[in-house]
């Protein structure tokens, strides 16, 4: 498998409460690899990824199933520890920081498959997410914005009785309530019906426009990808392409993961053997 090295800058401005001004923060991955044992052999799930992204932009990550997108997101959130490489937030090495420490720094992740919490109600999860600033009006609005009636859902248990789409919406509401500086949505559209999809895009976009920061959405949906500032294509555990949506989208529509990639190594000037 060939790893690709691309660079842009992912950054955000966060409120500096001490100095009363805004300052820039960054996420930068340097030579990140994730290995796993599969039977008798070791496999590379992420292979030497070096990527950093530009200040304040809205990113979409896409690529074929099994390419490594969720693993990439979980490495940023601290759910998966890389086997090698470094991760920097604001140029501070956070490779060894755990999920709690990263959440405190303002990194948030909405799972592709939200976990169930038997015994906890929607109200409990949203109150925890909203923290000290979260009054019920704010919490109710977060559900309404995602098309869920608070009266119907606040007392529901987060167990198998919620539908897949309902779980996704509640998960997204809870991550938005945390108001992270760096927010990653893993396939937010999964399980959400077509009628609600535009609304979902609006909520995510509005959050980005209002709060700024880094928004990274993992998605296969062209309608979402076309709204991104930048698209990152993750394929075979590497970053295959990164660039402005208007340049990358036409390319990935025809060819997400070329089987001759190992020959040309992704070099734009290389002869194409297809
Ligand atoms: N612990 C593990 N052991 C072995 N293989 C793993 C492990 N974790 C992930 N993988 C494999 O790594 C690859 C990348 O998984 P990942 O979930 O990151 O893909 P993805 O790009 O998010 O795919 P999708 O679009 O289907 O969500 C997959 O082939 C997956 O089966
Ligand atoms: Mg995934």
Residue 259 — φ and ψ, nearest 5°? -75, -15
- Of 38-42, 70-74, 129-133, 168-172, the range with the lowest mean pLDDT is 129-133
Q: Residue 133: which pLDDT band, with cuts at 50, 70 and 90?
A: low
Q: Is residue 43 part of a domain?
A: yes
Enumerate residues lining ligand 1, CB below 6 A: 36, 38, 45, 63, 65-71, 112
Cα–Cα distance between 244 and 59 in angstroms, integer? 9
Tokens 């200040």 found at: 55
Tell me which of 39, 69, 232 to substitute to probe ligand 1's pocket, judged by most ligand atoms within 8 Å of the beta carbon: 69
Which ligand 1 atom lies nearest to the CA of residue 74?
18
Q: Is residue 110 part of a domain?
A: yes
* 8 Å CB contact between 47 and 237: yes
Counted domains in the chain: 1
Q: Which two tokens stand for residue 22?
A: 């805004």
- As a three-state string, the secondary structure of the chain is CCCCECCCCEEEEEEECCCCEEEEEEEEEEEEEEEEEECCEEEEEEEEEEEECCECCEEEEECCCCCCHHHHHHHHHCCCCCCEEEEEECCEECCCCCHHHHHHHCEEEECCCCCCEEEEEHHHHHHHHHHHHCCHHHHHHHHHHCCCCHHHHCCCEECCCCCHHHHHHHHHHHHHHCCCCEEEEECCCCCCCHHHHHHHHHHHHHHHHHHCCEEEEECCCHHHHCCCCEEEEEECCEEEEEEEHHHHHHHHHHCCCCCCHHHHCCCCCCCCCC
Confidence band (pLDDT; 50, 70, 90) for 51? very high
In whole angstroms, give the CA distance from residue 95 to residue 234.
21
pLDDT of residue 194: 76
Mutation pick for ligand 1 pocket among 35, 63, 68, 239 (CB with most ligand atoms within 8 Å): 68
Nearest CA to ligand 1 atom 13: 66
Atom in ligand 1 nearest the alpha carbon of residue 38: 4
- 25 belongs to a structural domain: yes
Euclidean distance between CA atoms 242 and 231, whole angstroms:
6
Residue owning the nearest CA to atom 7 of ligand 1: 36
- Whether the Cβ atoms of residue 63 and residue 87 lie closer than 8 Å to each other: no
List the structure tokens of 262.
Answer: 């190992």
> Closest Cα to atom 28, ligand 1: which residue?
66
Q: What proportion of the chain, given as a percentage, has pLDDT over 90?
A: 65
Q: How far is the CA of 8 from the centre of ligand 1 (A)?
A: 25
Rounded to an integer, what distance in angstroms lies between the CA atom of residue 214 and that of residue 176?
Answer: 13
pLDDT at 262: 59
- The confidence band for 211, taking pLDDT boundaries of 50, 70 and 90, is confident
Among protein residues, the one with the nearest Cα to ligand 1's atom 12 is 45
Mean pLDDT computed over 35-43: 90
For 181, the domain range is 10-115+177-264
Main-chain phi, psi angles of 120, to 5 degrees: -100, 140
Mean pLDDT of the chain: 85
Q: Which two tokens stand for residue 72?
A: 């990439």
Instruction: Quote the Cα angle for 261-67-79, to 5°.
Output: 140
CA-proximal residue: ligand 1, atom 6 (nearest): 36
Pocket probe mutation, ligand 1, options 47, 61, 67, 186, max atoms within 8 Å of Cβ: 67
Q: Whose CA is nearest to atom 2 of ligand 1?
A: 36
Q: Given this model, what pLDDT does residue 56 score?
A: 86
Provide the token pair at 49.
Answer: 């990824």
In a domain, 198, yes or no: yes
Indicate if the pLDDT at residue 162 is higher than 80.
yes
* Distance, CA of 171 to CA of 192 (rounded, Å): 12
Q: What is the CATH number of the domain that holds 247?
A: 3.40.50.300
Residue 5 domain-assigned (yes or no): no
CA of 45 to the centre of ligand 1 (A): 7
Residue 274 domain flag: no
pLDDT score, position 258: 55
Domain contains 136: no
Does residue 267 carry a pLDDT above 80? Answer: no
Determine, yes or no, domain membership for 130: no
């Amino acid at each position: 498998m060939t790893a690709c090295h691309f660079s842009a800058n992912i950054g955000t401005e966060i409120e500096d409460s001490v100095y009363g001004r805004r300052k820039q923060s960054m996420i930068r991955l340097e030579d990140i690899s994730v290995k796993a044992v599969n039977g008798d052999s070791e496999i590379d799930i992420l292979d030497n990824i070096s990527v950093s992204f530009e200040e304040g932009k809205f990113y979409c990550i896409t690529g074929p199933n099994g390419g490594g997108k969720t693993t990439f997101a979980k490495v940023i959130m601290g759910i998966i520890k890389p086997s090698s490489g470094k991760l920097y937030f604001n140029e501070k090495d956070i490779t060894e920081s755990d999920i709690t420490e990263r959440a405190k720094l303002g990194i948030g992740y909405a799972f592709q498959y939200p976990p169930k919490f038997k015994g906890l109600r929607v109200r409990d999860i949203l109150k925890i997410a909203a923290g000290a600033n979260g009054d019920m009006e704010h919490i109710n609005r977060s559900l309404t914005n995602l098309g869920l009636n608070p009266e119907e859902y606040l007392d529901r248990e987060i167990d198998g009785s919620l539908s897949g789409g309902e779980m996704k919406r509640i998960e997204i509401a809870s991550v938005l309530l945390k108001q992270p500086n760096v927010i990653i949505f893993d396939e937010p559209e999964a399980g959400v019906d077509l009628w609600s999809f535009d609304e979902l895009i609006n909520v995510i976009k509005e959050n980005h426009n209002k709060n700024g920061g880094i928004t990274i959405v993992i998605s296969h949906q062209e309608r979402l990808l076309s709204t991104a500032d930048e698209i990152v294509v993750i394929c075979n555990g590497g970053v295959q392409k990164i660039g402005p949506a208007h340049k990358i989208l036409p390319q990935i529509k025809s060819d997400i993961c070329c089987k001759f990639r190992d020959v040309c190594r992704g070099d734009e000037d290389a002869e194409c053997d297809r």
